Amino acid sequence: MRVVLTTWGSRGDVEPLAGLAVALRELGADAVVCAPPDDDFGRLLARAGVPLVPLGPTVRSVVAGPKPPTAEDAFKLAPQLVDARFETLAAAAEGADALLATGLMPAGARDVADHLGLPYVFACFHLLGLPSRHFPPGARPGTPSSPDETDNRVLWQQDAERVDALYGPAVRNHREALGLPPVGNLRDYVFTERPWLAADPLLCPSEGRTDLDIVQTGAWIMPDDRPLPDGLEEFLDDGEPPVYVGFGSMAAYAPDGIARIAIEAVRSRGRRIVLAAGWAGLAPIDEGADCFAVGEVNQQALFRRVAAVVHHGGAGTTTTAARAGAAQLVVPRIADQPHWAARVAELGIGAAHLDPVPTVESLSAALDTALAAQSRAKAVGGEIRPDGAMVAAKQLVELAG
């Protein structure tokens, strides 16, 4: 049995598929991942022993500039990704038994599955973007809704129109070339009526949050048994647990001067720092022995050794920190990150810094709240499900078989 998994997005969109692929392999199924050709992702999938089929442009080429991508950039990227799915993904899926898509609106993936006669699953790592009568949609490039419009049904219909404006022309051209009938609501066609939610039920409760029939599997966690880098073990042993600071794949989105602000805030509380460079290239501000800089690192091992994790609020980092029992200070930037920040605060396992312009003073105060939540965070850590990838793999094998 062979399953094709596809995504386009940051590491938080790719690593869960590596975890799912490992679980599928344990069940005797082969898996291939069609994902952006960034070097980071190639190394990640190679470590998991999972083949990578490059799909679309690198994510770094889109998001790692000095400024965030514009709406104009989005309208250029959307047809590129659709073309890649009808070409690259279609070739990879020939002879496969199922296709699962996630990441940035995977328009084109279900069309390929339908054309090849494959079972198709849309999966997501949070609820943002799924239609709901209870909540309005998030921001999306295109014609904005009127600020006076308050009817969520109308707002979600307008969201569907924005999706069609982005991806519809390219999808229609490819479907017509393949002799496939036109699709009405492209967004809902991509999502299906039963999307899978690869998020922990405690961290991301789904009941009553969307109009769709959610299948919640739990988070897809990739096993990681790598040792910590040279010198980091000694640093961790040489004093009280430090505070981890990292903003993952946030490059243009990281707050200005966040390395200096975070280091000074942590120092003001008498704590040492582990600073992760990430795509934003965070670096120490001086040669102080209380700050240890790391690159790619085993977060599962590291987060069990720190007092708190200061991060951007990606689904993967939030889940890893929660599972490790580490208190969290979330400084959200875009997309689903404010929702994860709010949930961390709601659960009492850390703090949310919702002001988009942190200062040393504001971050220090929020860090106090986070550090005070260490006992609660440790207790909640034992409640996070570790088996989400295997739950999903079993369902996918059943669907494919």
Domain segments of the chain as ranges: 2-221+386-400, 232-381
Is pLDDT at 249 greater than 80 in this prediction? no
Half-sphere exposure of 272 (CA within 13 A, CB side): 19
d(CA 79, CA 140): 16
| pLDDT recorded at residue 251 | 67
| pLDDT recorded at residue 339 | 94
CA 295 centroid distance within chain = 19
Residue 252: pLDDT band with limits 50, 70, 90: low
d(CA 322, CA 316): 10
Hey, what are 250's tokens?
Answer: 């946030």
Residue 401: pLDDT band with limits 50, 70, 90: confident
**For the residues 349-372, what does the mean pLDDT come to?**
96
CA 195 centroid distance within chain = 16
Same fold, 2-221+386-400 and 232-381: yes
Q: Give the position of tokens 């946030």.
A: 250
Question: Is the distance from CB of 390 to CB of 16 less than 8 angstroms?
Answer: no
Question: Is the distance from CB of 105 to CB of 166 less than 8 angstroms?
Answer: yes
Hey, what are 99's tokens?
Answer: 């296709």
- Per DSSP bridges, beta strands 120-124 and 196-197 are parallel
The CATH number that domain 232-381 falls under is: 3.40.50.2000
| pLDDT recorded at residue 68 | 83
CATH fold, domain 2-221+386-400, is Rossmann fold (3.40.50)
**For the residues 310-338, what does the mean pLDDT come to?**
95
> In this predicted model, what pLDDT tens digit does every residue of 165-175 receive, in sequence order?
999 999 999 99
> In this predicted model, what pLDDT tens digit does every residue of 326-353 receive, in sequence order?
999 999 988 899 999 999 999 999 999 9
126-130, 133-137, 246-250, 387-391: lowest mean pLDDT where? Answer: 246-250
> In this predicted model, what pLDDT tens digit does every residue of 130-165 receive, in sequence order?
999 999 999 999 999 999 999 999 999 999 999 999
d(CA 298, CA 247): 15
Residue 64: pLDDT band with limits 50, 70, 90: confident
**For the residues 66-83, what does the mean pLDDT come to?**
93
